[in-house]
Amino acid sequence: MSERLQTGDTAPAFTLPDADGKEVSLSDHRGRKVIVYFYPAALTPGCTKQACDFTDNLELLTGAGYDVIGVSPDKPEKLATFREKENLKVTLVGDPSKETLEAYGAYGEKKLYGKVVTGVIRSTIVVDEEGKVEKALYNVKATGHVAKIIKDLGI
């Protein structure tokens, strides 16, 4: 099981393909705060709700200096379908190797319907302008999570 990040840790660097196959790196966002959220799978009900919530609040978040990147183990083609079907505006990147998910502590054992399984742990990491972890939230709920982040960040 991967280690969970703590406030003050350096956020692990990553370069992953987006829905169009273009590479997106955390370092591309240096000088801005970034909300990196990890979700199990595109086109599933909870993940759709969460992605739509981030899209609905994207203007507010970017206006407050935050970029948003959603990470899942999906391939770019599936992310493109997800983006088009749900009219998403957030940047979605795929991590089929799960290396970034593991580096962020967002992949490992979790409980699903009372059973212990290995998979993506729904998590949100807020990274500051210098690439340090400002907040690390694990096992978050898909519904209401974006509103909670906005409140916690004082936006």
* β-bridge partners, 112: 115
Contact 40, 28 (CB under 8 A): no
Task: Say which of 5, 11, 19, 47 is annotated catalytic.
Answer: 47
Using a 10 angstrom Cβ sphere, with 0-12 exposed, 13-18 middle and 19 or more buried, the burial of residue 89 is: middle
Residues constituting the chain: 155
How far apart CA 10 and CA 8 sit, in angstroms, is 7
State in Å, rounded, how far the first CA of the chain is from the last one: 33
CA 28, chain centre distance (Å): 16
Question: Which strand (E) or helix (H) includes residue 44?
Answer: none
Is 52 one of the catalytic residues? Answer: no
In 3D space, the residue among 135, 98, 136, 140 whose CA is nearest the CA of residue 122 turns out to be 140
**Residues assigned a catalytic role:** 47
